[in-house]
Chain A
Amino acid sequence: MSMTTSVEEQKKAQRAGVTARRVQAYAILVAWAVLILIFTLLLPDTFLTVQNFTAIANSKTATVLLTLGLVFALAAGEFDLSIGASLSLGAAVPAWLYSAHGIPVVVGVGIALAAAVLFGLLNGMLSVRYSIPSLIVTLGTGTALLGVVAGLVGNSTISVKGDWWNDFVSHKTFGLYTSFWFVLLVAFIVWYVLQHTPVGRHLYFVGQGREVARLAGIRVNSYRYSSLVLSATMGALAGAILLGNTGAVQARVGQAFILAAFAAAFLGSTAIVPGRFNAWGTVVAVYFIETGITGLQLLGFQAWVSDVFYGTALVVGVLVATLATRLRSRLSARSTSEERK
C-alpha cells in the first residue's frame, strides 16, 4: 500500500467520521422537533401553548440539576447510584427541620449540603482509597442514606408552607421559576468547565483512560473524589429545589429520580458532544423525555407512561451511542492489526 493512498483514504474516512458525528450531535434536536410536531397535530388546542411549555420547563429543574451532577461522576468513570438518596437528603431533611424544629429552610438546606459533601467524601474514600467499584459502593451507601433519612423524618409528606424558600424558588420571571434560571446558569457553568477548561479535559481522560491520565501527571484520585462529592452535593441541591418547587416532600422522593437522571445522562451523551457526557446534551435529553411524557399524558395515558418512557430512553440512548461508535470506527478507523506483530 502506498503512503499517498493511505493518506487520502484516511482523510476521506476522517471527513466521513466528522459528518457522522455532526449528524449525530443534532439528531436529538430533530427528533425533539418531530415529537413536538406530532403532538401539536394530535392536540392542536392544548399542546403547543405557552402554559404547557413553561410547565414542562418548570417541572424538571430538579431533574436537570441532579443529572448535571451525575454527569461529573459519569465523566470521571464513576457510577453514582446514590444520587437519589442525596436528593432525598436535600429535600426531606430541610423540610423536617422546618416543620419539626422551626429551623428556616435555607439553614436546613445548608445543613443538608454539608452532609452531602461528607457523604460524597465517603463514597470517594470507599471507591478510590479501597478500590471498590463505585457502582457497588453507591448502591450500598445510597440505600443506607435513604434509610437514615426516612428514619429521621418519617414516612409522611412534610410541608414547608409559610417559609420564604418556596416562594423564592418558585418565583416566576417571564413565566419561569427562579430554579429554572438557576439550573440554566449551572448548565452553562458545567458546559464551560467540561468543554473549555483543562479541568474538564482532565476529567474526561480520568474517565476514559485513567492510566493514561495518571501517567500524564494528572491527579486522578482528586478528580475521582471531586466528581463524587459534586454529584452528591448537586443531588442534595436538586432536592432543595424540588422542595421549593413542590412545597412538600416525602423522605423517599429521590428513588424515582435515579433512573430519570441516568436515562437523561446517557441519552444526553449521544447528543451535542456525542460520545461524552456533556451539559447541553443532558439538558436537551431531560426536556426531550419530558416533552414526550407530557404529550402522552395529555393524550390520556396514565402516569405509568413515564416509567416506560424513561426506561426506554435509557436503553435506546445507550444503544444509539454504541451503534454510532461502531459506525464511526468502521468509517474512520483503518485496521492497524496488520502492522501489529
Chain B
Amino acid sequence: MVTETVLELHGLSKTFGATRALADVDFDVRAGEVHGLVGRNGSGKSTLIKVLSGYHVPDPGGRLIIGGDTVPLPVTGRAAAEHGLVFVHQDLGLVGAYSILENIRLNSWSSKGFERIHWKAERASVEEELSRFGLVANPDTPIDSLSQVDRAIVAIVRAMHHLGVSGDGTGDASGKVLVLDEPTAYLPTDSVERLFDAVRAVAATGAGVVFVSHRTDEVLNITDRITVLRDGKLVDTVVTADTDEDALVALILGRALDSFYPDPVQTPPGERVLTVEGLTGALVKDLDLTVDRGEIVGLTGLMGAGHDEIPYYIFGARDAVAGHVNVNGDDLPIAKSTPTDAIAAGVALLPADRLNLSGSAAASVEDNVALPVLKKYFARGRLQLAVVRDRVGGLMTDFDVRPAVPSLEFSALSGGNQQKALLAKWLQMEPSLLLLHEPTQGVDVGSKADIFLRITDSAEAGTAVVIASAEHEDLANLCTRVLVFDSGRVVGELKGSELSEERILELCYRGGREAGITAASTDNAAQRTFRWRPHRVGYGD
C-alpha cells in the first residue's frame, strides 16, 4: 500500500469565547487508509470536522494540506471540491422522495443546462457504481424505500462520484479524502458490516477515509489508525493493529475534574413519585424505572442508546409504543398522553432544544417564562401584565438571569441565561417530578454551576429529578443513581461508591459485554430500530 499522505492538519486551534475547543492539533490521513477519529462529547472531534467542512473558522495559525497543496483556512466549498474533500454526515443529505439516481446525480448529470438527460446511460452507470460498493438496486428506487444501511451506501456512492471515481472504477480517487461523520449511529448492528465493506472499497480506490465514531468496537474493526482527542487536545495517534479496546478506552477517558458541583443530595428515601413499567418507544425497550422524592436519577448512553427519549415519553410529548407511567398515584395514558395531563399531574419537562421546544425565540422573556402559568394572572377581567412582569422579574433576579429585564426578546439572552430563565419557567410550578434533557448543553461554566445548584436544591425540597444527558461527568457528580443504556436497554445501574464518570463511560463504551453487569441479551442489539430524526437535538459537541 502506498503510504502517501493525502491530508495534513498542523497546529489547528479553535476558540469559542473562553473555551478552547481545539488546541494545536496535528492530524494526518494517508492514501488508502481508514483513519478513525474518536473522543468524548466535547473532545473537539466535531469541531475538527466542522473546521474541515468550512463550517467553523479556525483560529489563525493552523495549516491544511490536501494532496500536497496548501488549502487556505477557512475551507471554502469550492476549495473542498477542487481538492477532493467530501463529507458524508450522519443525516446523509438524501431526499427521501427522489430516486437513487436523482440523489446520486443531483448536480453531476453528464448533460448540462437544457440538454436532454441520457436516462439509460445514467441509469447504467449508477447501477454499476452501486454494485461496486455492494448495493444491488434499481436506480429508480426512491430513497424512502431503502433500508438505512442502503441509504448510507448511496450517500457514500454519491460522495465517491464527487471524488471522481466513475462506475467502471477507472477514475482516480487517490489524493482525495472522504469524511464519514458518525455513519453508524443509527444503523442496526447486523448491517454495519455491509457499510464497512463499502468503506473498504472506498479506501481500496486510493482515497483516504476519515471515520468518526462513538463506538470503539467499530473503530477497531474498520480503521487502520486511530486519532484520539480529549479536551480539544491531541492525545495520540495509534496504529489499530497495535491497540485493543482497553487501551483505546483508556486513551479516550481520564482527566482531573475541576469540581464546581454542589454537594451531593442527602435526602432520606422519600415516597415513590414516578413508576414506569414496560416503557417501549422508538429506541427504548421495555423499561422499568422508579424515582422517589428527592432522588436525582441520571439516564445516559451513547448516541442512539435511547436514554434521551424517555423524558419525552413520560411527559407525553411523544407517543410511546407501550408501557405504564404513574406519577404520584395518577396513571398517565402513555400512548395517548399529552403534556397537559402530565403538567396537571405535577410533571415538568425542560427539553434540550432551547429555541424550538423549550422557548420561543421571538417572544419576550416574560411571555416565555409565564406561559405555563398565565391563567393564574387573569384577574378582574384581564391579564394582569404588570403583575406578570413583576413576578417574572423577581424570578429572573432569583435565578440570576442577566440582564433581569422581563421585556427583553428571549433570543437576546445568552445560552446560559436562556436556560436559567427556562428552568425558572418550570420550577415556579413546583413540580413533583422534574424531567431534564441535556440541561447544560451550550451553557457557560458559571451558569452551569447555577443550574446544578438549582437542580440539587429542588431535589432537596422533595422534587424527584430525572436527567437524560450524555455529560457523564455531570451525571456522576449530581445524581444519586445513573442508568446506562445501550440499544434501548439498561445495561447497568450505578450508585454510591460505584458511581463515577469512569464507570459510566466504561458501561457506555463496552455496554454489558464485559462489564459483568446485567447483560443485555445480544439479540436486542440486532433488533435496534432506526429512528429518523433529521433535526435531532441533544448532541452538540
Contacts and interface: CB of A to CB of B under 8 A. Distances in A.
Contact of B359 (A198, A209, A339): A209
A340 B540 contact: yes
B444 interface: yes
Contacts of A328: 409
B414 A339 contact: yes
Interface stretch (A155-163, A172-180, A215-223): A215-223
B416 A217 contact: no
A17 B409 CA distance: 9
B360 A197 contact: no
B81 interface: no
B375 A198 contact: yes
B372 interface: yes
Contacts of A13: 412
B358 interface: yes
Interface string B332-368: 0000001110111000010100001111111100011
B15 to A, nearest CB: 9
Contact of A334 (B367, B374, B405, B414): B414
A212 to B, nearest CB: 5
B367 A201 contact: yes
B191 interface: no
Interface in B58-102: none
Contacts of A332: 408-409, 412
B16 A11 contact: no
B315 interface: yes
Nearest to A195: B383
A188 interface: no
A192 B382 contact: yes
B370 to A, nearest CB: 8
Interface string A16-60: 011000000000000000000000000000000000000000000
A3 interface: yes
Contact of A336 (B362, B375, B403, B415): B415
B147 interface: no
A208 interface: yes
Nearest to A325: B362
A226 interface: no
B42 interface: yes
B362 A275 contact: yes
B16 A212 contact: no
A319 B256 CA distance: 54
B339 A216 contact: yes
Interface in A204-249: 204-205, 208-209, 211-219
Most chain A beta-carbon neighbours within 10 Å: one of B372, B407, B412: B412
A333 B411 contact: yes
B340 A14 contact: no
A205 B371 contact: yes
B412 A198 contact: no
Contacts, number: 130
B317 interface: yes
Interface residues of B, number: 54
Given A197-B382, A211-B356, A212-B358, A339 B409 contact: no
Contacts of B402: 3, 6-7, 10
A210 B76 CA distance: 36
Contacts of B21: 341
A197 to B, nearest CB: 6
Contacts of B343: 216-217
B356 A339 contact: no
A307 B56 CA distance: 48
A328 B362 CA distance: 11
Contacts of A334: 412, 414
B408 A341 contact: no
Given A198-B383, A209-B360, A209-B363, A219 B340 contact: yes
B442 interface: yes
B516 interface: no
A256 B412 CA distance: 41
A98 B402 CA distance: 65
B243 interface: no
A112 to B, nearest CB: 32
A192 B416 CA distance: 35
A275 B292 CA distance: 45
B496 interface: no
A198 B373 CA distance: 9
A328 to B, nearest CB: 8
A13 B408 CA distance: 10
Contacts of A297: none
Contacts of B385: 196
Interface in A307-333: 325, 328-329, 332-333
A278 to B, nearest CB: 14
B361 to A, nearest CB: 8
Nearest to B444: A339
B109 interface: no
Contacts of B521: none
B541 interface: yes
B360 A212 contact: yes
Given A7-B402, A339-B16, 10 more contacts: A7-B403, A14-B405, A17-B409, A196-B383, A202-B371, A212-B357, A212-B360, A219-B338, A328-B409, A339-B414
